[in-house]
Structure 1
Amino acid sequence: MFIRNERSLKEFIQLYPVISTLIMIHLILWLIINFLQLPIGREIYQWGVGSNFMIYLGDYWRFVTPIFLHGDLMHALFNSFSLALFGPALEQMLGKFKFLLAYFGAGIIGNIATYMFEDFNYLHLGASGAVFGLFGIYAFMVSFRKHLIDQGSSQIVMTILIIGLAMTFLRSNINIYAHIFGFIGGFAIAPLVLINVQSYSPWRRRRSRYDDDDSIQFDPNRWNKKRRIPPRLKKNIIWIVLGILVLLGILSRF
């Protein structure tokens, strides 16, 4: 469910346009604001950063705009990598509209909690609250919609969630309220967006894109036959992914 099997970046973008667009926005805005340091980048930052004081004065769009902004490269890469890994299954299952509703809904809930519980001078930015909202949806599936997620994926997502929550409290300069309430928001939104949802199947997306002739018999295992992955290698891939996530999170402290 979380191991990507797209054959190219182009195919990934075609299959998951929402995820791809969000990641491009993350990286482009980081380049403009932090790397290129263009004058317009400073204006974007000042206009969009989460500022409790400015929200108090009426800048309510700041409940949304911090989701697109990131403070440093590792921050942007960590959130983008997490989105690329855990978002595609939900984009397929929910569809574009409900995925965006869940993603931004969880992010906004996390930012509202930040406004309520942090002081007026607090500044924040990042998509972490929205990403934790995705984990909230998966946690709801593990708890109440077990038919939508296989056991292996359940173990992976719960392991990543535990690591993410632990790092939330162990690392400095983390918006704890955005993480916790983003997760709670995703969990609360899950029953609304999971109505009439089918379980994730990468073969269904491939069939709809490549098999236009209904008379052609489609074998969902044909890619497995061509590229059979040994079970031991699959386990290694999973732990490699976990290691990369932890490493990126640790490096983002510096």
Structure 2
Amino acid sequence: MSQPDNNSPINPLPPVVVALFLLIAGVEVVFSLGARGLVGDASAIGWRVAALQKYAFSGEIFDWMLSSGVWPFEHVMRFVTYLFVHGNFTHAAFASVMLLALGKMVGEVFSAFATLAVFILSGIVGALAFALILDNPAPLFGAYPGVYGLIGAFTFLLWTRLGQMGENQARAFSLIGFLVGLQLLFGLVFGGNQDWVADVAGFITGFVMSFFLIPGGWARIRSKIRHD
């Protein structure tokens, strides 16, 4: 008799994606419960504001570090910590859903280290672009530049597959085109902020990194260099 098929029809999420999700969700749950007075003391209502002041990325602080040549860790860490604090529950929820969806597709091809590297380094480059391109006193916070890095990696995978199939590779950029267009539209209608600069920088970073981080990527690049 054949053995019953015990495989789940749903592929499990990569552990690194689950870990990132739990970190973002855990922080948001603490802030939301504190704001409702369900945990902590009377100061809990201000935990989110305090966290944003301490962990959000600030272009003004970056300018000060760049001009003074002083790089204290408490401010350098903002290049990464800003990815894990959000403005409200909805802000965090949308980021979490995108993280799970894109992280699953990327993490099934990339290694855990590569997936984490795309998310973190895209966030860092996104913050740098935000500080260097814009003169915006508003802080940068939220996981979106890192998530857009994962969109960049997913776009690379789709771009590569379309090329192998001999189809139009420009179709791979439909998702990022739609998302950026949507952000610009909301900005025009509702007067949104300029965070899209960090998001686009994160996307470009994730796409470029994928040439090196995809399994066998380094070998293909070395081979191409030798042949050229």
What is the TM-score normalised by the length of structure 1? 0.64
Q: Distance in 2 between matches of 1:110 and 1:148?
A: 30
Does residue 139 (structure 1) correspond to residue 155 (structure 2)? The answer is yes
Aligned to 1:182: 202
Q: 2:211 aligns with which of 150, 168, 191?
A: 191
| Long gaps (5+) in structure 1 | 198-254
**Matched positions, count:** 186
Deviations, residues 101-135 of structure 1 (Å, cap 9, x unaligned): 11111111111100112226231101111111112
Q: Distance in 2 between matches of 1:24 and 1:168?
A: 26
Q: Distance in 1 between matches of 2:177 and 2:148?
A: 11
Q: Distance in 1 between matches of 2:21 and 2:164?
A: 25
Does residue 71 (structure 1) correspond to residue 93 (structure 2)? The answer is no
Aligned to 2:27: 29
Give the aligned residue type for 2:52.
Y
Q: 2:178 aligns with which of 163, 176, 182?
A: 163
Specify whether residues 148 and 77 from structure 1 end up closer, same or farther in structure 2 by C-alpha distance, changes over 3 A only.
farther
Does residue 119 (structure 1) correspond to residue 135 (structure 2)? The answer is yes
Give the aligned residue type for 1:168.
Q
How far the C-alpha of 1:52 sits from its partner, in A, is: 1.4
Give the aligned residue type for 2:193.
N
**Secondary structure, aligned partner of 1:123:** coil
How far the C-alpha of 1:22 sits from its partner, in A, is: 1.2
Aligned to 1:97: 113
Q: Distance in 1 between matches of 2:105 and 2:78?
A: 28
| Long gaps (5+) in structure 2 | 1-6, 36-43, 66-70, 187-191, 218-228
Specify whether residues 6 and 85 from structure 1 end up closer, same or farther in structure 2 by C-alpha distance, changes over 3 A only.
farther
Aligned to 2:55: 48
Q: Distance in 1 between matches of 2:164 and 2:28?
A: 35
How far the C-alpha of 1:6 sits from its partner, in A, is: 5.9
Q: Distance in 2 between matches of 1:158 and 1:44?
A: 35
Q: Distance in 2 between matches of 1:6 and 1:48?
A: 39
Q: Distance in 2 between matches of 1:17 and 1:148?
A: 29
Contact 1:32 1:41 in 2 (8 A): no
How far the C-alpha of 1:36 sits from its partner, in A, is: 1.5
How far the C-alpha of 1:158 sits from its partner, in A, is: 4.3
Aligned to 1:209: none
Q: 1:86 aligns with which of 77, 88, 102?
A: 102
Give the aligned residue type for 2:182.
M
Contact 2:58 2:137 in 1 (8 A): yes
Aligned to 2:122: 106
Q: Distance in 2 between matches of 1:89 and 1:158?
A: 16
Q: Distance in 1 between matches of 2:81 and 2:146?
A: 12
Contact 2:105 2:154 in 1 (8 A): no
Give the aligned residue type for 1:141.
L
Q: Distance in 2 between matches of 1:167 and 1:111?
A: 21
Q: Distance in 2 between matches of 1:100 and 1:85?
A: 15
What is the TM-score normalised by the length of structure 2? 0.70
Deviations, residues 227-252 of structure 1 (Å, cap 9, x unaligned): xxxxxxxxxxxxxxxxxxxxxxxxxx
Q: Distance in 2 between matches of 1:128 and 1:148?
A: 30
